[in-house]
Chain A
Amino acid sequence: MPPEIRRGFVVFAALLTVFAVIWAARMDHIPPAEFALQNGTDPRTLDPHRATGQPESRIIFELFEGLLRMLPDGPPDPETGLQPLTPQPAMAESYEVSEDGKTYTFHLRDNIFWTDGSPVTANDFAWSWQRMLHPATACEYGYLISEVAYAEEYHNSIVNVGDHVEVELWDRPGETPSSDANIQHFPRGTMRYGTLREIVKPPRPELPEGSSDEAQESAELDWQEQWVYVVDVVPEQADGSIDWEAPASPQRFAASPAIAAADEAVERTHGVMVAFGKLGGAEAVDERTFVVRLENSVPYFLNLVAYYPLFAVNRQCIETYGAPLWTKAENIVSNGPYQLAFRRLRDRVRVEKNPLYYKADQVGMETIDFISLESQNTALNMYETGQIQWVTDLPTAVLQELKKRDDFHSAPKLSIYFYKLNTAVPPLDDVRVRQALSLALDRRQIVEEVTKAGQQPAYTVVPPGIAGYKSPQGMPENVQRAQELLAEAGFPGGRGFPKLSLMYNTSETHRPIAEVIQQQLQNNLNIKLELKNMEWGSFIETVQMEQYQMARYGWVGDYPDPNTFLDLWVTGNPQSNTNWSNPEYDRLIEAAAKELDPATRMDLLRQAESILVTELPIIPIYFYTSAEMAKQNIEGFAPSAQDLHPLQVLRYRSKPSPESKE
């Protein structure tokens, strides 16, 4: 290299560095929001039908709105500090419930608009509910409204001969008869309606004995794709209704491209499903009236209606941009108190007041930042220095200190921390062993020395604080009884008891709790536990394949009713994984679901719970409490049992001066 190049290179490198620094120093400054909060992990999606976690729900509750909404009702409970929230009119200004509790009629307001200016109508809700239930949306909360007429069949795409069905032809945008599916199920292809007359099924494939559940499931679904459906197609009327008795022309449909290509008379379809939208389960009677028909009365149905998966999404927006592009800030159309300003990945979601919201003048904060903040320490630091005004997750190490402060809020939450037991594995198949394990635990030590946020020791499964429900007694600690039970089960003094393994997912709190329990069982029963730490993905899979003995779990109530904690444990529930089955329990849960009288229903559930806490397929450890801090100049902040915080009711007592915000 000639020396000139070398000298030139040094100059070049220096210039490059300068440019790099100048580029890096260019920052688009964003003024801080009026209110900012710690929102945990970055939200995975803003689509109300796809979201599952709390970080997502906090945002979606502000961006969208349902017929009803959970809002503060009366002053906070002086004892627990809990703010009662009840489902209150939102997009609907009133509603009626039929006497048998099976028909709900919602009357929508007439001054409600989407952020693009178009009015919100009952049709929006009918369409949104249908989208939520459509299997291709893959909404995890579809089961919540399985009591809506035909919802369960539609959600799980179950059809039977004789059903009124809808057939979606293979002509979504960009599809040809032989192409792959356009995974955008909305906009949909052409719809045909009719009565299913026959399903022509090829012989069922035989799988070798002992093939895995997954292989069987998959073979079953493959087989179903080979079915040919014969449907008596009737025309759709101009107003969108269907006369099922109209003169029909039989047509044949198949999902498999091979079958559709082989036979001229068979048309390719995305699927034949019950015509949920046309059968009146969730129906827009007119622009302002939305009627829901249930197969059985659901006492907590209004709570479900106020839950975000049942909020309305904008059909035109979704059909124009498709999922997930419709959730981008430049595309999204919503109807809540706030609208999306921008979203910066792993940084924040900024929302601003929606001027078209019908109660916009009562919405407190102009802008809100949902800061993606996972680290508890960082969140606390940012709270202390005034960068955020509400911190939702506090570091356990300093909880004792923080508890003394006035801006600290703690209240029982509707969720439980427990251990699942695999009752198929000896010796856990013996109820005496399970009882002994539970009786030998000192839960008070765990909540006082490990978790420290004021959690309540749990001897039952349903957390306290559900109106009208009182849990059975449960079995408090009794080491002597535990030892007796263990001896009766054939392990006097713990002799001959195999080493059990206790699995938990990686977390700062699960390990110390498991260690304390390991110690207690060792001391009280002479039982040895092996602790197994697993990363979340592997943990979930191992438990679902039921290859575990004891596993740590948590459950947060989906709605304020004991059922959300109890129906998990009925025989065959995919969430149970305990192999526990009790016909009496199943019967009680089923009877409760059909019971109209609230008091009798609660009593049935209570009986079921007392079976659960005697048989103990799960060992309850404690009920969670929230531990959070919010600046004291904020009005309207109070903890609630479901950990819901409607943000539109928050406002500053006196507007803070601009300097104090940053």
Chain B
Amino acid sequence: MRDLLSYLFKRFIWMILTLLAVYTVSFVLMRAVPGNPFSGERNVPPAIERQLKARYNLDAPPIQQYFDYLGGIVTDFDLGWCMGLEDYSVNQVLAEGFPVSATLAIFALVFAIILGVTAGVISAVYRRSPADVALMAAAVLGIAIPNFVLASLAILLFVFTIQIFPAGGWGTLQQIALPAFCLGLPVAAYIARLSRAGMLETLSKDHVRTAFAKGLPKRTVILRHVLPGAMLPVVSYLGPAVARVLTGSLVLEKIFALPGLGSHFINAATQRDYTLAMGMVLTYTVLLFVMNTLVDISYAIIDPRVKLQ
């Protein structure tokens, strides 16, 4: 237990340092690119531009802006008001967008794990059978096809040919199905390959041979003795998978008109919405850090050979 706590503590310190670095780099980069949040086709008179800048503390010297904004984040998690979507604070944008992104990510991941593991196990158990060949060919395709192509095909098939899903929007479970499917499929393909490889490796282990020799039914051997060992690579892939699902949703959010966080990311950057862009970058940093830590911990719990350091 103590090593777990000290591990968590260490990871936390690292996260703070990473966040600080990310904050600094983003702060500098954002102000280094040409343009500002208030540049539009119409020039505003200088007096008015000054008022706008004062509203967002952009009239202070950069160093002071840096510390003022950092102070706000540290003391009360206040990321400020958006400069583009001016009716919203960054915190409100995150609060509205995050549940959508999380919902999509959860469905995509659960779908990917169930489909991927099932396919991997079937392929490994019936190795070299037509089912194995078919599943692994599908997996290669799943990895190779970008998800916007997948999305177009899925829309053609499930929205227009067989009319079972709506074309886009957010609000019902039906509307989640297609984007979650398109988002999860490439991940499922990876997981299928990983679990197949893991299964094949474990199947050749001595303890498995012993289990078969004891006369245990095949089903029991696979579920009790092979699967846990075979899942290790899959668990370690979950960290990158979360990252992939979170960032991969940018494109799908656009195609399916979903109000998730992804499109804010792009729009914040193109509109020079300094505060929102910063909020997004920091949020994603925290998310990925937390997810990777969780994956590491669960890995250590499942596999006794792994020590947390």
Footprint of B on A, CB under 8 Å?
1, 5-6, 9-10, 13, 17, 20-21, 23-25, 27-30, 41-42, 44-47, 50, 52, 135-136, 138, 140, 142, 155-157, 181, 183, 217-218, 220-221, 324, 327-328, 344-347, 371-375, 377-378, 381-382, 384-385, 387, 535-538, 540-542, 544, 553, 574-575, 662
Contacts and interface: CB of A to CB of B under 8 A. Distances in A.
Contact of A44 (B39, B43, B84): B84
A44 B86 contact: yes
Given A221-B50, A541-B35, A544-B39, A371 B257 contact: yes
B97 interface: yes
A346 B255 CA distance: 13
A574 B171 CA distance: 45
B34 A378 contact: no
A6 B301 contact: yes
Given A344-B259, A387-B166, A387-B168, 7 more contacts: A44-B84, A183-B55, A345-B92, A345-B96, A381-B160, A381-B167, A537-B34
Interface in B256-271: 256-260, 263-264, 267, 270-271
A5 B297 CA distance: 12
A46 B51 CA distance: 20
A575 B257 contact: no
Interface in B31-65: 33-36, 39-52, 54-55
B103 A535 contact: no
B54 A181 contact: yes
B300 A1 contact: yes
Contact of B263 (A135, A346, A371, A544): A346
Given A181-B54, A385-B166, A540-B35, A138 B44 contact: yes
A135 B55 CA distance: 12
A324 B172 contact: no
B54 A537 contact: no
Contacts of B172: 27, 29
B171 A27 contact: yes
Nearest to B85: A44
Interface residues of B, number: 65
Contacts of B217: none
A324 B81 contact: yes
Contacts of A553: 41
B281 interface: no
Contacts, number: 173
Contacts of B81: 324
B155 interface: yes
A387 B301 contact: no
B32 to A, nearest CB: 11
Interface in B49-95: 49-52, 54-55, 81, 84-88, 92-93
Contacts of B263: 346, 374
A13 B294 CA distance: 11
B146 interface: no
Contacts of B173: 25, 27
Contacts of A156: 45, 47-48
B86 A50 contact: yes
Name which of A1, A6, A52, A155 has the most chain B CB atoms within 10 A of its CB.
Answer: A1
21 contacts: A1-B304, A10-B302, A23-B103, A23-B106, A27-B172, A30-B171, A41-B267, A47-B87, A220-B46, A221-B46, A382-B166, A382-B167, A387-B167, A387-B168, A387-B169, A537-B33, A537-B34, A537-B35, A540-B35, A541-B34, A575-B43
B48 A135 contact: yes
B207 interface: no
Given A44-B84, A45-B87, A537-B270, A385 B163 contact: yes
A21 B159 CA distance: 24
B255 A375 contact: yes
A385 B159 contact: yes
B302 A373 contact: no
B212 interface: no
Given A21-B107, A156-B47, A345 B85 contact: yes
